[in-house]
Structure 1
Amino acid sequence: MITTRRLVKQFGRLRAVDGIDLDVRAGDIYGFLGANGSGKTTTVRMLLGLVLPTSGEIELLGSRMPRAGRRVLPRVGALIEGPAHYGHLSGRENLALLDAAGPGGSWRTRRARIGEVLEQVGLAGVGRRPVKAYSLGMRQRLGLAGALLRRPELLVLDEPTNGLDPQGITEVRELLLDLHREGTTVFLSSHLLAEVEQLCSRVGVLDRGRLVLQDELAALTAPTGSTVVHTPTPDRVRAVLDGRVTATDGERVVVRGADPAEVNARLVGAGIAVTALSLERPTLEQVVLAAAGTSTDRVEAPR
Structure 2
Amino acid sequence: MIRTTGLTKSYGSVRAVDGVDLDVRAGDIYGFVGANGSGKTTTVRMLLGLVLATSGQIQVLGEEMPRRRRSVLPRVGALIENPAAYPNLSGRRNLTLLDAAGPGGSRRTRKTRVGEALEQVGLAGVGRRPVKQYSLGMRQRLGLAAALMRTPELLILDEPTNGLDPQGILEIRELLLGLHSQGTTVFLSSHLLAEVEQLCDRVGVLDRGRLVLQDQLSSMQRSTGRVSVRTADPAHAVSVLSGVDGATVLERVGQQIVVEHQDPAELNRLLVEGGVRVSELSEQRMSLEQSVLAVTGASSDRVDAPGALRDSATRTEVTA
> Does TM, scored on the shorter chain, surpass 0.5?
yes
**Matched residue, 1:121:** 121
> Is the 1:222–1:281 Cα contact (8 Å) retained in structure 2?
yes
In 2: Cα distance, 1:290 partner to 1:238 partner: 32
Counterparts of residues 12-27 of structure 1 (less than 5 Å)? 12-27=12-27
Give the 3-state SS of the residue equivalent to 2:124 in structure 1.
coil
Give the 3-state SS of the residue equivalent to 1:214 in structure 2.
strand
**Matched residue, 1:280:** 284
Structure 1 residue 172: deviation in Å?
0.3
Structure 1 residue 288: deviation in Å?
1.2
Q: Which amino acid aligns with 2:110?
A: R
Structure 1 residue 264: deviation in Å?
2.6
**Matched residue, 1:219:** 219
| Inter-CA distance 75–256: structure 2 relative to 1 (3 Å threshold) | same
What per-residue deviation string (whole Å, max 9, x for no partner) do you get for residues 57-94 of structure 1?
A: 11111111111111111111100112011110000011
| Inter-CA distance 237–210: structure 2 relative to 1 (3 Å threshold) | farther
**Matched residue, 2:267:** 263
1:106 aligns with 2:107: yes
1:244 aligns with 2:237: no
In 2: Cα distance, 1:204 partner to 1:280 partner: 23
> Is the 2:238–2:249 Cα contact (8 Å) retained in structure 1?
no
> Which ranges of 4 or more aligned residues in structure 1 deviate by more than 4 Å?
231-239, 268-273
Counterparts of residues 103-182 of structure 1 (less than 5 Å)? 103-107=104-108, 109-182=109-182
Unaligned runs of 5+ in 1: 299-303
Q: Which amino acid aligns with 1:131?
A: V
Structure 1 residue 248: deviation in Å?
2.5
In 2: Cα distance, 1:137 partner to 1:177 partner: 20
**Matched residue, 1:89:** 89
> Is the 1:226–1:258 Cα contact (8 Å) retained in structure 2?
no
**Matched residue, 1:254:** 259
> Is the 1:238–1:245 Cα contact (8 Å) retained in structure 2?
no
In 1: Cα distance, 2:6 partner to 2:233 partner: 53
Unaligned runs of 5+ in 2: 303-320
**Matched residue, 1:301:** none
What per-residue deviation string (whole Å, max 9, x for no partner) do you get for residues 108-163 of structure 1?
A: x1011000000000001100000111111111000000001111110000000011
Structure 1 residue 255: deviation in Å?
2.6
**Matched residue, 2:306:** none
Q: Which amino acid aligns with 1:296?
A: S
More displaced stretch, 215-224 vs 95-104: 215-224
**Matched residue, 1:196:** 196
Q: Which amino acid aligns with 1:263?
A: L
- Relative contact order, CA 8 A, sep 6+: which one is greater? 1
| Inter-CA distance 234–193: structure 2 relative to 1 (3 Å threshold) | farther
Structure 1 residue 22: deviation in Å?
0.3
Give the length in aligned residue pairs.
Answer: 296
TM-score by length of 1: 0.91
In 2: Cα distance, 1:19 partner to 1:68 partner: 22
Give the 3-state SS of the residue equivalent to 2:161 in structure 1.
coil
Structure 1 residue 52: deviation in Å?
0.9
1:52 aligns with 2:52: yes
CA RMSD of aligned residues (A): 2.0
Percent of aligned pairs with the same amino acid: 68
Q: Which amino acid aligns with 2:65?
A: M
